[in-house]
Structure 1
Amino acid sequence: MRRLTAWALTLLLGLAAYVFVTQPQEAGVRLPSLPPLEQSPRTPPQDSEAQGPPDSALNGALLQQSVDAQPISLAALRAREYPGSALTVERTLAAGAGYTRQVVSYRSDGLTIYALLTVPSGTPPPGGWPGIVFNHGYIPPAEYRTTERYVAYQDAFARAGFVTLKSDYRGHGDSEGQARGGYNDPGYTVDVLNAAASLKKDPRVNARRLGLWGHSMGGQLSLRAMLVDPDLKAASLWAGVVASYDVLATDWNPPAGVQTPLDDLSRRYLRLLSPNASLRDLRGRPLQLHHGTADKDVPYSFQVALAGDLRAAGQPFTAFKYEGDDHNLSRNLGLALRRSVQFFKDHL
C-alpha cells in the first residue's frame, strides 16, 4: 500500500504541474484534459498491494494536496501577503459630477500597477468613504487604456459616495509585468488584493467598508479575492465567469460538434481548484449577481451554476436575470447600476 500511495502522490503532484487553462480570449478558456489514471506513463506496481480497493480518504487528501500546490489555489493565495502601498498620483483628470478622477499607481508583487481612482468631492464621512475595488473584464492587454471603458459604471458609484479603484492589472496599459490571464495564473488576483490593501491605506477610505465590483473575468477575480481577504464585505458580479472550473472546461464555447469529456479525477481536481468549492468561507458576506440571458460571451448558465453552489453552501445572495440582454447589460444598464449602488449602500 505504501508503494501505491507513493505512486498516487507522484501522479497527483504531476497533475498539479499542468497548465490547466489558457485564455486566448475572454469568450472562452481552454482546459486540456488532465490524464486519467490508466493513461499515466507511471504504471502502479502489479502486486497484491495494488489490487485492493483505494483508500478514499487518503486519495482525497492527496488530491487536495495537489490542488493546494497550484499557485492559483486559495491555499496558495492565502499563504501570500498583500501589503499594497500608498496610492501615487500619476495624472489628474477632469473631474466628474461630484467627484475627482486621477490616474494613480500602487505596488503589487514588486510591480508598479496603474489604476483609475475616483473620490467623492467634499468632506469624507466619519471613518472615511466606503470603497469599491473595480475589476474589469477581459480586454486585449495591448488595446487596454486606463481611462477607456467602464466610465459610466465608475461614475454611478462615485456620484453615490463611493471611492472606486479600477486596477489595470499587470501587463495592461502602463502597468508592469506580463498579462497571463485571470484563470490559471494568480497575477491578476494578486493585483486586485493589493489594490484593496492600497485603498485601506488611504486616509479618505474606511478600511472596514470595502467591497468589490466585477464584470466577466473580473467576476472570477472578485469572487476569488473575496475568499482570500475577509475584510472585503460584499461583491456585485456582472456577467461573471463564475462557474467552477470543471464546468468551464466542458461548457464554455467548445468547438462546434466537439465534446470535452472529463474523467472523474480531472473533474474533482478542477472542482476543488475553483473558488466555488470554498463558498462556505464567505461566512455570510453577501453576493449580488447580474446576467443577461442573451449573453454571447459568458453564458447565463454560469450565474445559475454559482447560484446553485451558493445555495448549497448556505450563503446569502441575490440574483437578477435580464431577459434578452447582452454581456454588458446594455438594455438594462441604468437599472442594474441602481441595483448595485443600493446593494453597496446596504452592505458597506
Structure 2
Amino acid sequence: MRRLINLALFALILGAAFVAVTQPESLPFRLPWNPPVTGTPAAPGEASPQGDSRLPDFGDTALKTAVARNPVSIQALKAREYPGSALTVRQTLAAGSNYTRQVVSYQSEGLRINALLTVPRGTPPQGGWPAIVFNHGYIPPAEYRTTERYVAYQDAFARAGFVTLKSDYRGHGSSEGEARGGYNDPGYTVDVLNAAASLRRDPRVNPDRLGLWGHSMGGQLSLKAMIVDPRLKAASLWAGVIASYDVLATDWNPPPGEKRTLDALNRRYLRLLSPNAYLRELNGRPVQLHHGTNDADVPYSFQKNLADDLRNAGQGVEAYRYEGDDHNLSRNLRTALNRSVQFFRDNL
C-alpha cells in the first residue's frame, strides 16, 4: 500500500500534458496525476464519489499523512502563511460609472502579481467597503491581459458598491512567476489567499467583509481558499470545476473511447486530497452555485454533486440551474449577476 501511495503522490506532483479546448475562458482538461493502477473497478460496495458526507472518515493514518504532505492538500495550504502586501498602483484606468479602476500589484511568495482593482466612489461605510476577491477561469497565460475578459462581470459588483480585486495569478500577462495550473500546483491558490490578505491591508476595505467570486477553474480556487481561510465569509461559484479529484481523474473529458478507472486506494487518496472532503470546515459560511445545463466544458453534474455534498455536510447552499445555458451563462448573464450581487449584499 505504501508503494501505491508514494507512486500516486509522485504522479500527482509531476502532472501530465494539457489537452486544449476551444473556448478561451474555459478550463483545459489537465490530468494532474497518472494513477499507478488502472483498469480495476472500485471495490464492491464502495461509496459513490459524490454525495458522501463521510469522505474524511477513512481511519487510515498512513493515507492521511500522505495526503497532508502533498503541497496541494488543504492541510499543506493551511500550514502556509499569507501575509499579502500593500497594493501598489501600476496604472490608473478610465473610471467606471461610480467607481475607480486601477491596475495594482501585490506580493505573493516574493512574486509581483498584477490585479485589477475597483473601488466605489464616495465615503466608505463605517468599517470600510465590503470586498470581493474575483477569481477568473482558465485563460492561456501568454494571452492573458489584466484589463481584458470578465469586464461585465466585475463591473456588476463594482457598481453595486463592492471593492473588487481580480488577480492575474502568477505567470499570467506581466505577473511574475511560472503558470503551473490550478490543480496539481498550489501557486494560484496561494495567490488568491495573498490577494485577500492584501485587501485586508487596504484602509478603504472592511477586513471582516470579504467574499470570493470564481468562474470555472476560479471556482475551485475559491472553494479551496474559503476552506483554508475562515475569515472569508461567502463564495459565489459559476460553472466551477468543483468535483472531487477522483471524479476529475475518471469522468472529466476522457479521450474518445477510453474508460478511466481507479483502484480503491487511489480513489480514497484523491477524495481525501480534494477540498470537497473538508466542507464541514466551512462552518456555516454560505456558498452560492450557478451552472448551465448545456456547459460543454464543465459538466452541470459537478454543481449538483457539490450542492448535495454541502447539504450532507450541514452547510448552506444556493444552487441555480440555467436550462440550456453555456459555460459563461451567456443567456442568463444579467439574472445570474443580479443573484450574485444580492447574495453578497446579504452575506458580506
After TM superposition, the score normalised by the length of structure 2 is 0.90
Q: State the 1:32 CA deviation.
A: 4.3
Q: Counterpart in 2 of 1:201?
A: 201
Q: State the 1:257 CA deviation.
A: 1.5
Does the aligned pair in 2 maintain the 1:17–1:70 contact within 8 Å? no
Q: State the 1:332 CA deviation.
A: 0.3
Q: How does 1:1-348 map to 2 (within 5 A)?
A: 8-9=1-2, 11-19=4-12, 20=15, 23-25=18-20, 26-36=27-37, 60-348=60-348
Structure 2: gaps (5+ residues): 21-26, 41-56
Structure 1: gaps (5+ residues): 1-7, 40-56
Deviates more, 1:129-138 or 1:300-309: 300-309
Distance in 1 between residues matched to 2:278 and 2:301, nearest whole Å: 20
What secondary structure does 1:183 align onto?
Answer: coil
Does the aligned pair in 1 maintain the 2:4–2:36 contact within 8 Å? no
Distance in 2 between residues matched to 1:58 and 1:210, nearest whole Å: 33
Distance in 2 between residues matched to 1:24 and 1:130, nearest whole Å: 38
Q: Counterpart in 2 of 1:49?
A: none
Q: State the 1:311 CA deviation.
A: 1.5
Question: CA offsets, 1:298-343, max 9 Å, x none?
Answer: 1101101111211211110000000000000000000000000000
Equivalent AA in structure 1 for residue 256 of structure 2: A
What secondary structure does 2:319 align onto?
Answer: strand
Distance in 2 between residues matched to 1:58 and 1:254, nearest whole Å: 28
Does the aligned pair in 1 maintain the 2:11–2:34 contact within 8 Å? no
Q: Which has the larger radius of gyration?
A: 1
Distance in 2 between residues matched to 1:30 and 1:204, nearest whole Å: 41
Q: State the 1:28 CA deviation.
A: 1.7
Superposition misfits of 4+ residues, deviation over 6 angstroms: none
Q: State the 1:21 CA deviation.
A: 5.9
User: Which one has a larger percent helix, Structure 1 or Structure 2?
Assistant: 1
Distance in 2 between residues matched to 1:221 and 1:21, nearest whole Å: 20
Does the aligned pair in 2 maintain the 1:27–1:253 contact within 8 Å? no
Deviates more, 1:204-213 or 1:256-265: 256-265
Question: CA offsets, 1:171-207, max 9 Å, x none?
Answer: 0011000000001100000000000000000000000
Distance of aligned partners of 1:18 and 1:317 in 2 relative to their CA distance in 1, 3 Å threshold: same
What secondary structure does 1:143 align onto?
Answer: coil
What secondary structure does 2:343 align onto?
Answer: helix
Distance in 2 between residues matched to 1:112 and 1:139, nearest whole Å: 19
Q: State the 1:58 CA deviation.
A: 9.4
Paired positions, count:
324
Distance in 1 between residues matched to 2:105 and 2:283, nearest whole Å: 32
Distance of aligned partners of 1:259 and 1:31 in 2 relative to their CA distance in 1, 3 Å threshold: farther
Percent identical: 71
Equivalent AA in structure 2 for residue 321 of structure 1: R
Of structures 1 and 2, the one with the larger relative CO (CA 8 A, separation 6+) is 2
Equivalent AA in structure 2 for residue 35 of structure 1: P
Q: State the 1:12 CA deviation.
A: 2.5
Equivalent AA in structure 2 for residue 134 of structure 1: F
Does the aligned pair in 2 maintain the 1:182–1:188 contact within 8 Å? yes
Q: State the 1:24 CA deviation.
A: 4.2
Distance in 1 between residues matched to 2:203 and 2:17, nearest whole Å: 39
Question: CA offsets, 1:21-59, max 9 Å, x none?
Answer: 65444242225442249x9xxxxxxxxxxxxxxxxx997
Equivalent AA in structure 2 for residue 34 of structure 1: P
Distance of aligned partners of 1:85 and 1:250 in 2 relative to their CA distance in 1, 3 Å threshold: same
Distance in 2 between residues matched to 1:73 and 1:177, nearest whole Å: 21
Distance of aligned partners of 1:198 and 1:58 in 2 relative to their CA distance in 1, 3 Å threshold: closer
Deviates more, 1:19-28 or 1:150-159: 19-28
Question: CA offsets, 1:238-292, max 9 Å, x none?
Answer: 0000010011111111111210011111111110000000000000000000000
Q: State the 1:65 CA deviation.
A: 0.6
Distance of aligned partners of 1:211 and 1:63 in 2 relative to their CA distance in 1, 3 Å threshold: same
Distance in 1 between residues matched to 2:7 and 2:196, nearest whole Å: 34
Instruction: Note the aligned Cα RMSD (angstroms).
Output: 1.8
Does the aligned pair in 1 maintain the 2:32–2:183 contact within 8 Å? no
After TM superposition, the score normalised by the length of structure 1 is 0.90
Does the aligned pair in 1 maintain the 2:288–2:318 contact within 8 Å? yes
Question: CA offsets, 1:83-122, max 9 Å, x none?
Answer: 0000000000000000000000000011000000000001
Q: Counterpart in 2 of 1:5?
A: none
